[in-house]
């Protein structure tokens, strides 16, 4: 997990324990109250692993096909 995600988990754990209010957590994480409640729901259901980014390890949706990339690079190198 990244430092940012670990910080989120720590703050959500404090909210879950009642040591921190939702408003304070929203200000600390620069999120809305609604988003805090959504994160807190996932945190309670699946634990800290639910907070990590879901697309980690997956290729991006806007990736360029290898053949197109190689062709573009060959055109650039020629000029």
Q: What is the pLDDT of residues 18-73, one digit of tens each?
A: 999 999 999 999 999 999 999 999 999 888 888 877 777 888 889 899 999 999 99
pTM above 0.75, yes or no: no
Q: Can you read off the two tokens belonging to residue 67? A: 């053949």
Helices (H), the chain: 3-17, 22-29, 33-46, 66-78
pLDDT at 79 over 80: no
- DSSP class of residue 47 equals -
Predicted local distance difference test score (pLDDT) of residue 24: 95
pLDDT score for 31: 94
pLDDT at 73: 93
Residue 2: per-residue pLDDT: 79
């Amino acid at each position: 997990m990244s430092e940012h995600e670990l910080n989120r988990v720590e703050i959500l754990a404090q909210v879950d324990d009642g040591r921190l209010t939702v408003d304070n957590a929203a200000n600390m994480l620069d999120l809305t109250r609604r988003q805090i409640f959504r994160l807190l729901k996932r945190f309670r259901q699946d634990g800290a692993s639910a907070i990590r980014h879901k697309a980690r390890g997956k290729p991006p949706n806007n990736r360029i096909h290898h053949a197109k990339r190689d062709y573009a690079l060959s055109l650039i190198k020629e000029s």
